[in-house]
Amino acid sequence: MRLRYSPTSPYVRKVTAIAHELGLFDRLELVATNAWDPVSDLPADNPLGKVPTLLLDDGEALYDSPVICAYLDALVGDRLLPAGGPARWRVLRNEALADGVLDAAILIFIERNKRDEAQRSAWWEQLQLDTVARALDVMEGLADGFEVEPDLGQLTFACALGYLDFRFPELEWRQGRPALERWYQTFASRPSLQATTPRDPV
Ligand SMILES: N[C@@H](CCC(=O)N[C@@H](CS)C(=O)NCC(=O)O)C(=O)O
């Protein structure tokens, strides 16, 4: 399998962390891809022009990160995403919650770093910040109830919080969220997360 990736994408991190958890990382051939390059060939594999994109050995392309993670998990027999029952929907909902934090944070990152200053909108940025804050408050309420065994939802939570630490330390997400902080402090030491901690390329 070939994974089109960029080194700082939190969605890519999610996929690679899950691959580590499942013992599949060595089966991924990593293909560095700049999704922002206007002449990138990425759209030939993924018309949405986004990483992560997983290319299967039969030529099929899978996107986006929830689909890729579910695929990898199915390969090894549903270890991080329960096959059915209420637990499945809870895990998927938690994944969507943390993905939503990432979606809003990425929009802020784009606004601040890729958009001309004259075009930036404080109103738009505030909408995204409010989304992040609301989602984090819900995550705070969920953190104490997490199972000891990791699942896809928890791993996505960790990638979202890691991304906030990486790009938005000034948001101080730990402030007023002691349960989430406590949970993350332990959970972030998992080898899969240590191996994928985001860093700017040197
Ligand atoms: N919902 C997608 C989001 C992926 C995404 O937004 N990736 C970013 C990199 S962090 C990207 O490729 N952006 C390029 C673009 O939007 O043109 C997923 O979960 O995979």
Ligand 1 pocket, residue 65 CB under 6 Å? yes
Token pair for 136: 């984090």
* Predicted pLDDT of residue 6: 95
For the chain, list residues with pLDDT below 70.
none
Give the Cα separation of 55 and 31 in Å (integer).
Answer: 10
Residue with tokens 């948001």: 171
Asked whether the beta carbons of 155 and 14 are under 8 A apart, the reply is yes
Asked whether the beta carbons of 101 and 132 are under 8 A apart, the reply is yes
Give the Cα separation of 175 and 140 in Å (integer).
Answer: 11
Put simply, whether the predicted model's pTM sits higher than 0.85 gets the answer: yes
* Predicted pLDDT of residue 202: 77
Cα–ligand 1 centroid distance for 48 (angstroms): 8
* Predicted pLDDT of residue 22: 98
* Predicted pLDDT of residue 52: 98
Cα–ligand 1 centroid distance for 106 (angstroms): 9
Element (H, E) at 122: helix 122-143
Q: Which of 5, 18, 50 to probe ligand 1 with, by most ligand atoms within 8 A of CB?
A: 50
| Nearest atom within ligand 1 for CA of residue 9 | 10
Asked whether the beta carbons of 42 and 35 are under 8 A apart, the reply is yes
* Predicted pLDDT of residue 200: 85
Q: Output the residue whose Cα is nearest ligand 1's atom 9.
A: 9
Print the SS3 string covering 23-68.
CCHHHCEEEECCCCCCCCCHHHHCCCCCCCEEECCCCCEECCHHHH
Ligand 1 pocket, residue 106 CB under 6 Å? yes
Beta partners for residue 55, in sequence order? 2, 61
Give the Cα separation of 64 and 189 in Å (integer).
Answer: 26
| Nearest atom within ligand 1 for CA of residue 66 | 19
* Predicted pLDDT of residue 147: 81
Token pair for 59: 């030529």
* Predicted pLDDT of residue 169: 97
DSSP-derived secondary structure letter, 2: E
